[in-house]
Amino acid sequence: MPRKAQPLSALGIRKKIEALSKDPTFTKPVKQSDGGMPCLQIVYAPAPDGVSAKWVYRKQHKDPARRFEAGLGVYGERPPGVSLQRAREKAAEITAMLAQGIHPLDEKRRRKEELAEAKKAAAAAVKYNTPLSKVALLWLEDQDKAGKWADDSRGYQRFRGYLKNWIIPALGNLPLDEIGREEVFDFLQRDKLYMKVDTADKCRSTLTAIGTWAYIHGYRRDDKEIGKLDGILRERLKPYLRQVPKRGHNPALRPEDMPEFMSQLKRHNGPSARALEFLILTACRQDSIVNDRGKVLGLRWEHLDLDAGIWHLPRDWTKMKKEMDLVLSTYAVDLLKSLPRVDGCPFVFPDRHGTRSLALGTLGLLINNMNGERSRVGLPKWVDPRYLKNGEPRAVTPHGMRATFTTWARQGRDNFKRFNPDTVELCVGHAVRDRLGGAYYRPELSGELIQQCRDLMNAWGRFCLTGKWPDEPDDE
């Protein structure tokens, strides 16, 4: 009958290690069973710094399938080592699992997976509670790095403005999981945001984009679109949306009034008068030539080829965010050549300091001054009777001059027969599309169309300055 092993003790293990470290014949591992716990062994092995000891659980059985062996860690009386008591506890756990038919390695793997899932759930809970203010800024930076606004230099600042001025003050402290239809409804009511239709729409679409990004990146459980104007939200907003005044077009000058308007404008001096004159002669957008609160840098001399009569617009200066060439009439070129240039100033229409371009509101203020002059001498103001403000016709606007040009080119005095509609669209910087979406229509390839644009703009400039229609001869 085999001799029963004696229970191990911490003192006995220390003495065994000390003895083996002095034994010159100790070159192979030595096993020592623990009589206090079946299947528990400590294995001593030679090591560079003396003797190493590690715990092993080894269950013997004549059936190989029922045998089991597993390491329980390196011996040590203090963590991270495994003490005798802790080794016996581990061995007892394994013995109990084997008795229940549970494989210890499978159980270890299961516990490890449970722990990983618990940590993952805890981390997710922290992310789910992240306030919108932080998630929104993460979204903004991520979109910027991804090139969302690569073709729009103002895009980043514009969306940052929606966040800073509207979304974060109202919803910034809420986690995205807590933002639903009710919160969006309250948000649109805040400061009567629903009255600012464009801003409200942009804020809702921005909320939707942030919510989608947050769901993908683990900041939100729900994948529903936050800012979507669904049937329920639309129905709740109906009483408020009825208060929103109907949007109209920019008040425009009648084409037949343009020569008289231009005559009065010519009597004004200064960059603002010449900027408005250039805007009329080119039918361009005013934010392409003046400074829109720092967003657009204004018309620069480097954009102009006066010899060829071409205005090169970089993509940041266009609404469609693509480079564009506009044809200048001889009248516009003559105007540009007559302008003084300020040393060190790249702008065609500088402000009074000569350091930056004119501000956006300057041209509208000039029109108001012109209306004041007419009122003082008993002449009717430059207004558009179709659009009222407080019961009074609204004054014409700089942007409305584009409508004046288009109306003149398409309707006045048989011009609709004289000028190609595609030419008119190109002259105002619009994309010309065919029924296939413009994929095969590329007007920049047509030299004939460029000449048609030049003829149209020359006819328009002649009408503005002389009042003569294209079918009227010049004075002898």
Distances, alpha carbon 123 to alpha carbons 120, 128, 135, 220, 221, in Å: 5, 9, 15, 13, 13
Rounded Cα distance, 241 and 201, in Å: 13
Across 300-382, the runs of DSSP E, i.e. the strands, are 304-305, 310-313, 324-327
Beta bridge partners of 74: 54
Residue 366 pLDDT level (bands cut at 50, 70, 90): very high
Q: Which residue has the higher pLDDT, 277 or 294?
A: 277
* The most confident of 97-111, 367-381, 383-397, 407-421, by mean pLDDT: 367-381
**Which long-range CB contacts under 8 A does 186-195 form with residues at least 24 apart?**
188/237, 188/240, 189/240, 193/166, 194/237, 194/240, 194/241, 194/244, 195/243, 195/244
DSSP 145-197: HTTTTTT-TTHHHHHHHHIIIIIHHHHTTSBGGG--HHHHHHHHHGGGGGGSH
Residue 296 pLDDT level (bands cut at 50, 70, 90): very low
Rounded Cα distance, 47 and 54, in Å: 12
One-letter amino acid identity for 27? T
Q: Which pLDDT value is given to residue 324?
A: 78
> Does the pLDDT at position 405 exceed 70?
yes
> Does the pLDDT at position 446 exceed 60?
no
Q: Which pLDDT value is given to residue 404?
A: 93
339-357 pLDDT, tens digit each: 998 888 888 888 887 778 8
74-108 pLDDT, tens digit each: 998 888 899 999 999 999 998 898 888 888 888 88
> What is the chain's mean pLDDT, rounded?
85
Give the helix ranges, DSSP H, for 190-315: 197-216, 231-241, 258-266, 271-282
SS3 per residue for 16-32: HHHHHHHCCCCCCCEEE
> Does the pLDDT at position 464 exceed 60?
yes
Smallest Cα–Cα separation from 405: which of 448, 461, 331, 465?
461
- ∠ CA 51-56-60, nearest 5°, is 135
> Does the pLDDT at position 260 exceed 90?
yes
Q: Which residue has the higher pLDDT, 52 or 314?
A: 52
> Does the pLDDT at position 261 exceed 80?
yes
Residues whose CB falls within 8 Å of the CB of residue 318, separated by 6 or more in sequence, listed in order: 288, 324, 429
Q: Which pLDDT value is given to residue 398?
A: 93
- 51, 40 Cβ separation under 8 angstroms: no
Q: What are phi and psi of 419, to 5 degrees?
A: -120, 135
Rounded Cα distance, 328 and 304, in Å: 9
Q: Which pLDDT value is given to residue 397?
A: 93
Residues whose CB falls within 8 Å of the CB of residue 402, separated by 6 or more in sequence, listed in order: 252, 283, 284, 285, 428
Rounded Cα distance, 208 and 199, in Å: 14
Q: Which residue has the higher pLDDT, 446 or 178?
A: 178
Region 333-340: mean pLDDT is: 93
Angle, helix 362-376 to helix 258-266, in steps of 10 degrees: 100
Beta bridge partners of 348: none
Distances, alpha carbon 341 to alpha carbons 114, 263, 292, 334, 369, in Å: 75, 24, 22, 14, 26
What kind and span of H or E run contains 416? helix 415-418
Smallest Cα–Cα separation from 29: which of 11, 47, 15?
47
Q: Which residue has the higher pLDDT, 290 or 335?
A: 335
94-149 pLDDT, tens digit each: 889 888 888 888 888 888 888 888 888 777 777 888 999 999 999 999 998 988 87
Q: Which residue has the higher pLDDT, 24 or 415?
A: 24
Q: Which residue has the higher pLDDT, 422 or 210?
A: 210
Place of tokens 């009710």: 182
